């Protein structure tokens, strides 16, 4: 089914609004939120019990993941990090600590070392998805590049059913996210103040 231009326009407008709000955060605000998020997310059953977690390295004013990555790594979880491919698909590598991250395209940080292939994500017990917002149904608004739409499609095709979790700021849990046919809900959103769970996922 073709994308509805109205849905595309609504998503683009909401993305601009949310990115403006993130850009107004101070570095201290972002760091404080990252510390609280790491503790709250690390306590989730889906992460506490996971043997393999597909995650990502936050950049800019994204809700911070770095302390959480270190916590998961210290627990002995196998943490997979994305490697952006030229076509916007994602390969994966293993996180071996913050000192083993390298600068990549678009300001991203990626793991050094070998690559596992795009299908490595299907081994994950839990997948942390970047996002800009989520609504009461668990519908996530991403950045619009389509990389994680491919990840979700790959999981579905493989019959894999990991827990899907998004980390957000408190005001990014919104009333409604415009939805397209390929969009899939997440199971939970973690913010500095709360854990939101969604029955539709």
CB 91 within 8 A of CB 115: yes
CB 117 within 8 A of CB 92: yes
Is residue 60 part of an annotated ligand binding site?
A: no
Is residue 62 part of an annotated ligand binding site?
A: yes
Is residue 10 part of an annotated ligand binding site?
A: no
Is residue 147 part of an annotated ligand binding site?
A: yes
Is residue 58 part of an annotated ligand binding site?
A: no
Is residue 13 part of an annotated ligand binding site?
A: yes
Is residue 113 part of an annotated ligand binding site?
A: no
Is residue 37 part of an annotated ligand binding site?
A: no
Is residue 11 part of an annotated ligand binding site?
A: yes
Handedness of CA 10, 133, 124, 115 (dihedral sign): positive
Is residue 114 part of an annotated ligand binding site?
A: no
Name the 3-class secondary structure at 6.
Answer: helix
Is residue 12 part of an annotated ligand binding site?
A: yes
Is residue 140 part of an annotated ligand binding site?
A: yes
3-state secondary structure 116-135: CCHHHHHHCCEEEECCCEEC
Cα distance between the two ends of the chain: 21
Could you give the CA distance from residue 200 to residue 183 in angstroms, rounded to a whole number? Answer: 12
Enumerate the known binding-site residues for ATP.
11-15, 140-148
Enumerate the known binding-site residues.
11-15, 57, 62, 140-148
Enumerate the known binding-site residues for substrate.
57, 62
């Amino acid at each position: 089914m073709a994308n509805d231009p109205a849905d595309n326009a609504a998503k683009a407008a909401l993305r601009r609004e949310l990115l403006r709000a993130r850009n107004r955060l101070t570095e201290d605000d972002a760091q404080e939120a990252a510390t609280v998020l790491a503790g709250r997310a690390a306590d989730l059953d889906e992460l506490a019990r996971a043997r393999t977690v597909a995650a990502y390295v936050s950049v800019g004013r994204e809700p911070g993941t770095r302390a959480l990555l270190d916590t998961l790594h210290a627990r002995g979880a196998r943490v997979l990090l994305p490697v952006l491919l030229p076509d916007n698909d994602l390969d994966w590598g293993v996180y071996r600590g913050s000192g083993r991250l390298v600068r990549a395209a678009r300001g991203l940080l990626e793991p050094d070392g070998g690559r596992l292939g795009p299908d490595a994500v299907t081994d994950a017990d839990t997948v942390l998805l970047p996002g800009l917002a989520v609504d009461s149904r668990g519908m996530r608004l991403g950045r619009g590049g389509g990389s994680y739409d491919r990840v979700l499609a790959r999981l579905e095709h493989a019959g894999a059913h990991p827990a899907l979790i998004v980390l957000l700021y408190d005001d990014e849990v919104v009333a409604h996210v415009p939805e397209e046919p390929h969009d899939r809900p997440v199971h939970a959103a973690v913010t500095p103040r709360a854990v939101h769970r969604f029955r539709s996922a």
